[in-house]
Amino acid sequence: MSDNGTNGFGRFYEDFEIGAVYRNWPGRTISEADDTWFSLLTQNQNPIHIDANYAENHTAHGQCLVNGILVFAIVIGQCVPSVSGRAIAALEYEKVTHLGPTFHGDTIYSEAVILDKWETSKGDRGVIRLDCFGYNQRNEKVLSVRRTLLVPKRNHPTMGEDAEFFPRVG
């Protein structure tokens, strides 16, 4: 199975199948400004992210590397429409692995692979275990993250298909 969240924003527990692959589109091109602002916003002042002169003269790649936490955030964000848009909670980020460098101007694409699922004792929700992968524009895998989500079943009292997602004003 492969799609981009065509069942709506996120999925119910019943919609997930073990082994399903959800490819996410569009990609996100990371600019120098994105990386600099993110690094400074998060107080990561490692010069490898924010000092082009330092990176050119003192690193193996000869250029700034994109902050890995920004790449992680983009991959997780890209998976929201196809996987976690209906999630009740993100339960765990089990393992994050940076598999290759990301540079200014690279475009990140992602996919999610469903590894396991099980119902909870409440009966109106379940747990999904999945791997998310980030790729650059050359289809090189640059990040992997294993995560666990709590997702509603269709009969969940506040998350059913007829639930109103936007509060009424007035």
Superfamily of 13-30+67-152 according to CATH: Hotdog Thioesterase (3.10.129.10)
Beta strands in the chain (DSSP E): 21-29, 89-98, 107-119, 125-135, 141-152
State pTM to two decimals.
0.88
Structure confidence by residue, pLDDT tens digits, 103-143: 999 999 999 999 999 999 999 999 999 999 999 999 999 99
- Residue 48: φ, ψ to 5°: -65, -20
Q: How many CB atoms lie within 10 A of CB 141?
A: 13
Structure confidence by residue, pLDDT tens digits, 46-81: 999 999 999 999 999 999 999 999 999 999 999 999
Per domain, the residue ranges of the chain are 13-30+67-152
- 158: tokens are 């506040």
